[in-house]
Structure 1
């Protein structure tokens, strides 16, 4: 599913169940030693997918993939990547940093968001548009798709700017026919970051009970001379594997 959403320079690997016999490296094991079994399984399979994807770009896949302070995967300096997981799906994508500046993916069950979540994560115009899509194109849970797109935006934004982004800092419009979505970063999200990205374009797909979204930014598209001001790190954590 995921490979059709990304630039040719991005390698991917996905599974729809946890393969038997997959293990973590010792450094990775320490990250989930006290986690519940379901968290351990998704983390282990996510790292397995990451290693398989790294092998596809002929990059060493025997090194631990640790986590940053926000839980984000720590890729080698020469690599950009993203990991996602939900019930019945795990995936990872990677690319060489010389070709791709950032990539973000997210998968969610194609089911309604819990009560109150749409109102918590969507701007008023996004809420109205989502309700219209649910009426006009009932085959996909567009509320869940919007949530997934917001997560992909965050995962793409953070490695470029090293600054968090709130749900309300990005305005998203989904094209229900073309399989794409457009993103506009609102002024409050980019405040204090010189030459911050203002727009992204992503792609989406749905099938097998899952919705998947992805954004990739080529190295040529990366804004130059980014200069985030030093601000307290008080925003929500990045959603990762």
Structure 2
């Protein structure tokens, strides 16, 4: 499903379950254990998807470790993103010659818990969500907004190494085209000799899931 949202130069691998017996690189295995000493199935399957995508991209096998903020550290010359939620895991990778950055996110297709929307949205965004809610499409627009902002953050962080708060980007969702725009409200990084002022992305609601993706071409 995720491949529908991304350019052909981006390779996607996804899974709706956690395969048994997945072997990780020893260095990955050390960071696959959670605080209680359990092997995290989300991490394992996410890295399994990442390795499948990298193989299809023609990249020699190597561990995908975690860098600053827990973001994946991709092999040289590769950009990518990993996401997981209940019932879905995915990774998307591309050559850095083709894409500057990628951000993907998956969420269950259900509304945000009470009180969360005000913590992750601007007043203008909430006003627009109220308009979207009047449409006949049964999409949890508040959760979609959250997911899109997660994708924007995942695309932003590799370019800056800095946190991007939920209030630092103004998001607009196009219900008809299945797209969204994020206008940065803080100074952006320099990309191609110009300051980056925002991101565009695509979204999909299907099979009980919300998927969002951002891909910035080189």
| TM-score of the aligned structures, taking structure 2 as reference length | 0.93
Could you give the per-residue CA deviations for residues 22-43 of structure 1, whole angstroms, max 9, x where no partner exists?
1222111111324458870000
> Displacement, 1:90?
0.2
In structure 2, C-alpha distance between the alignment counterparts of 1:108 and 1:38, rounded to whole Å: 23
What residue in structure 2 maps to residue 42 of structure 1? Answer: 42
- Give deviations 1:86-105, integer Å, cap 9, x for gaps: 00000000000011100000
The question of whether the paired residues in 1 share the 8 Å contact of 2:32 and 2:44 is answered with no
1:190 aligns with 2:187: yes
Gapped regions of structure 1 (runs ≥ 5): 220-241
Distance in 1 of aligned mates of 2:208 and 2:39: 20
- Residues in 2 aligned to 1:40 and 1:114: alpha-carbon distance in whole angstroms: 24
- TM-score, L = length of structure 1: 0.85
Determine the C-alpha separation between the residues in 1 that align with 2:152 and 2:159: 11
Residue of structure 1 in register with 2:122 after alignment: 123
The count of residues paired between Structure 1 and Structure 2 equals 215
Q: CA deviation at 1:11?
A: 0.3
Closer/same/farther in 2, CA of residues 125 and 74 from structure 1, 3 Å limit: same
Q: In the alignment, which residue of structure 2 is the partner of 1:141?
A: 140
Report how far residue 201 of structure 1 moved. Answer: 1.0
Gaps of 5+ in 2: none
Tell me the alpha carbon deviations over residues 134-165 of structure 1, each in whole angstroms, 9 at most, x when there is no partner: 22244111111000000000011111222221
Deviation, structure 1 residue 116: 1.1
Q: Higher strand proportion, which one?
A: 2
Q: CA offsets, 1:218-238, max 9 Å, x none?
A: 11xxxxxxxxxxxxxxxxxxx
Q: Which moved more, 1:152-161 or 1:105-114?
A: 152-161
Q: Counterparts of 1:48 and 1:101 in 2: how far apart (Å)?
A: 23
**Structure 2 residue aligned with 1:72:** 71
Give structure 1 regions of 4+ aligned residues with deviation exceeding 6 angstroms: none
Distance 1:201 1:36 in 2: 38
SS in structure 1 at match of 2:20: coil
Q: Is the 8 A contact 1:110 1:209 kept in 2?
A: yes
Residue in 2 that maps onto 1:10: 10
Equivalent in the alignment of 1:231: none
